Every structure is written in structure tokens, then in C-alpha cells.
């Protein structure tokens, strides 16, 4: 059975690629890569490797998911080593399982090579611990792409749990209102973490109350920081290393 490799490219810094990822990229005949993948990752490929950008960003999908699935099957049957290079790690907000299902249905074997997830590595790159005995015992990772789903899942506030909100920057104002309605403290820190692990990394820290009172222009401007994640929880914001 021919194999197709779903490979996690990590959070942005090319040095966060795993050795296993580098080794398969060196052998790849075809690489289909995401929009958020650092293109320096492609420098590990052979000179004759076919590299194709199939990235999807908000309101700008180069390829739709069903098209990507068909391409993976097509190339998987035609070439020896095909890599689907995905931002972060394949099964965290990456629709990797859908691609695995399409491959398996076509008689191809999907092989997953995990990457360093942005959900953990980005906060750490800003010296924000997800678990720190002083403040929390758990963290929850959730998408902010659909505010209705977000509101349904976040039912209450737990002072010992932090939130990692992915793909929520465009809905920041609604998310703030939802959290306040769910009894999150008005003074809880909210960190906007943009382009973490890269040279363009930016961290902005507010409280929920400060964000609630920001003008509409602020929420339009903040969208320019994408890709960005939202961290909600207590940490040593005044003492953290930038």
C-alpha cells in the first residue's frame, strides 16, 4: 500500500521542525503545504521536488478542502513520497483527519508525523506557562472561529483554568462579551499573541474590562496581527520576559 505523509511543520520557527519531519522532506517527491507554513521548511526538499501552496486563510482559499483531498490522492498514486505539510501539528485545527479518511478511502495509507503545536509553543515563546501551580492546573484549547460554538462550550469560569483561543482574533469583541457574560473576572489578563516563535512576534496584554471599552477601530486594527491566538488567564504579566 502506497503511503502519504501528513507532517506537522510546527508553529512558525523553522527550527521547530522535528528530525522526523526533516528526514521525510528530504525524500519528498511532492509537498502540498499550508499558508501558515514557514517556506524555509521547503529548503530541506530536493531540487526537483514539486511544491504546491494549497493554503487557506480567511476569505482567501487557494484550494478548497475537497480539492486538497483529491490532489493528495492523485499525487499519492502517482509518486513514491508525497507530503502534506501542515502548520502546527496535523490533528489540531488542521483538518488532518479528513485528509486521512480521503486517503484511506482511495486505498492509500496515511502516515502522521506530529509537529510542535502552536497551542503550546506560542505561549511558551512569550514566557506564558499553560500550567503553573501559582495560577492554574489545566488549560483548554478552543476555536474562536464560530462564536456560537464558542459560547456553547464555554459555560462557566474556573479560576484554575486558562483558555487558549485559536482563530478568534476576528471575533475578539464578541468573545470578550461572551467571557464577561460567563462570569470571567473583569480584571483577568487577555494576551494577544501574534506570530509567535518568529522574528515578527508581538504580545499585547489587556484585561477583559479594558478590551470591552476599546473603540470599534481597535478591533479592526487588531485583525492585522493574524495569525494570532488569544490567551485568557492569570500569569505574571508584569514580570514576564518579552
For the domain that residue 226 is a member of, what is the CATH number?
3.30.950.10
Q: Which residues constitute the domain of residue 112?
A: 3-116
Residue 59 pLDDT: 64
- For residue 240, being part of any structural domain is answered with no
Single pTM value for the model: 0.91
Q: What is the mean pLDDT of residues 38-65?
A: 89
Q: Count the domains in the chain.
A: 2
The last residue of a domain, from among 116, 139, 169:
116
Give residue-wise pLDDT tens across range 154-205: 999 999 999 999 999 999 999 999 999 999 999 999 999 999 999 999 999 9
- For residue 175, being part of any structural domain is answered with yes
> Do 132 and 110 share a structural domain?
no
Q: Which of 20, 56, 173, 214 is catalytic?
A: 56
> Do 219 and 136 share a structural domain?
yes
pLDDT > 70? residue 239: no
The last residue of a domain, from among 72, 87, 116:
116
pLDDT > 90? residue 60: no
> Do 146 and 73 share a structural domain?
no
- Answer yes or no: 34 catalytic: yes
Residue with C-alpha cell 515578527?
Answer: 200
Q: How confident is the model at residue 62 (pLDDT cuts 50, 70, 90)?
A: confident
> Do 190 and 94 share a structural domain?
no
Q: Which of 34, 86, 195, 203 is catalytic?
A: 34
> Do 146 and 99 share a structural domain?
no
> Do 227 and 148 share a structural domain?
yes
- Answer yes or no: 146 catalytic: no
> Do 131 and 111 share a structural domain?
no
Rounded to the nearest angstrom, the gap between the alpha carbon of residue 95 and the centroid of all alpha carbons in its chain is 11
At residue 200, what are phi and psi to the nearest 5 degrees?
-95, 15
Amino acid at each position: 500500500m502506497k503511503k502519504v505523509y501528513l507532517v506537522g511543520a510546527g508553529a512558525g520557527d523553522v527550527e521547530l521542525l522535528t528530525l522526523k519531519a526533516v528526514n521525510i522532506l528530504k525524500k519528498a517527491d511532492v509537498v502540498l503545504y499550508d499558508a501558515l507554513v514557514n517556506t524555509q521548511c521547503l529548503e530541506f526538499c530536493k531540487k526537483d521536488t514539486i511544491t504546491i501552496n494549497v493554503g487557506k486563510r480567511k476569505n482567501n482559499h487557494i484550494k478548497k478542502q475537497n480539492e486538497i483531498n483529491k490532489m493528495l490522492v492523485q499525487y499519492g498514486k502517482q509518486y513514491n513520497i508525497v507530503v502534506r505539510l501542515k502548520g502546527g501539528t496535523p490533528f489540531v485545527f488542521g483538518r488532518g483527519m479528513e485528509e486521512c479518511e480521503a486517503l484511506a478511502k482511495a486505498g492509500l495509507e496515511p502516515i502522521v508525523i506530529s509537529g510542535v503545536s502552536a497551542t503550546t509553543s506560542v505561549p511558551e515563546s512569550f514566557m506564558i506557562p499553560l500550567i503553573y501551580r501559582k495560577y492554574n492546573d489545566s488549560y483548554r484549547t478552543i476555536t474562536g472561529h464560530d462564536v456560537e460554538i464558542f459560547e456553547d462550550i464555554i459555560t462557566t469560569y474556573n479560576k484554575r483554568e486558562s483558555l487558549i483561543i485559536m482563530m478568534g482574533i476576528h471575533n475578539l469583541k464578541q468573545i470578550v462579551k461572551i467571557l464577561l457574560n460567563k462570569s470571567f473576572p473583569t480584571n483577568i489578563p487577555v494576551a494577544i499573541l501574534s506570530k509567535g516563535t518568529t522574528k515578527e512576534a508581538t504580545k499585547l496584554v489587556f484585561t477583559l474590562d479594558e478590551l470591552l471599552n476599546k473603540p470599534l477601530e481597535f478591533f479592526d486594527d487588531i485583525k492585522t496581527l493574524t495569525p494570532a491566538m488569544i490567551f485568557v488567564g492569570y500569569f505574571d504579566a508584569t514580570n514576564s520576559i518579552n
